[in-house]
Amino acid sequence: MLHILFLFALLLSSSANAGDFCVANLKGEEGPAGFPCKPAAKVTAEDFAFSGLRMAGNTSNIIKAAVTPSFVAQFPGVNGLGLSLARLDLAPGGVIPMHTHPAASEIIFVLKGKITAGFISSANNVYFKTLKKGEVMVFPQGLLHFQINAGKYGSLAVVSFNSPDPGLQILDFALFGNNLPSELVEQTTFLDDAQVKKLKGVLGGTG
């Protein structure tokens, strides 16, 4: 009898955790299914709310743009839920350079200003459009895409992903922001040495 009661209690306590949510324990190791769960007894409403998108990101940088993420690393409550958001601020002239999110499709919703956005399919077809306030565009998972401020003033958008950890790789930084020897960059891009050295200088690469 005691054994049965014990089993029942065990089932109840574990299902409260495993069934409803799994707030990330960021100290644990992230696997394909996300982070391990914070003990359910320690979870509070704060774990399911995030105020980090209230403020505009700092656009005083080379791309004149800021992406403020609310991915699992910033917002542990989205762990295991298959979704996340980011805030996109673009100053005049701002651009999010060509990039991919290996783990997620993205949808953008323009709240302010005008944004020219597009992606390139794996057949190298280009799909781009200038989005006005209130308009939405989707970028399929893994494909190269970009966003450019198309207005005179600042633009603001919300982007949503079907992963709590969409990943981000920016093409320019992948090519010119590391120590891959310039000679190899030149051979793989067909750019000349001066162009590669110049881009490495701007984007923080060496070699």
Ligand X SMILES: *[C@@H]1O[C@H](CO)[C@@H](O)[C@H](O)[C@H]1NC(C)=O
The binding site for ligand X (CB under 6 A) comprises: 58, 60
Q: How far is the CB of 135 from ligand X (least distance, A)?
A: 29
Q: How far is the CB of 69 from ligand X (least distance, A)?
A: 17
Measured from the CB atom, is 61 or 188 closer to ligand X?
Answer: 61
Q: How far is the CB of 61 from ligand X (least distance, A)?
A: 6
Measured from the CB atom, is 56 or 184 closer to ligand X?
Answer: 56
Contact status, residue 17 vs residue 10, Cβ threshold 8 Å: no
DSSP H stretches of helix in 24-82: none
DSSP H stretches of helix in the chain: 2-20, 171-176, 182-189, 193-203
Contact status, residue 155 vs residue 94, Cβ threshold 8 Å: yes
Measured from the CB atom, is 51 or 60 closer to ligand X?
Answer: 60
Rounded-to-integer distance, Cα 133 and Cα 48, Å: 28
Q: How far is the CB of 57 from ligand X (least distance, A)?
A: 9
58 burial (CB, 10 Å; 0-12 / 13-18 / 19+) is exposed
Fill in the amino acid letter for 63.
Answer: I
Measured from the CB atom, is 64 or 133 closer to ligand X?
Answer: 64
Q: Strand, helix or coil at 74?
A: coil
Measured from the CB atom, is 38 or 87 closer to ligand X?
Answer: 87
Q: How far is the CB of 33 from ligand X (least distance, A)?
A: 36
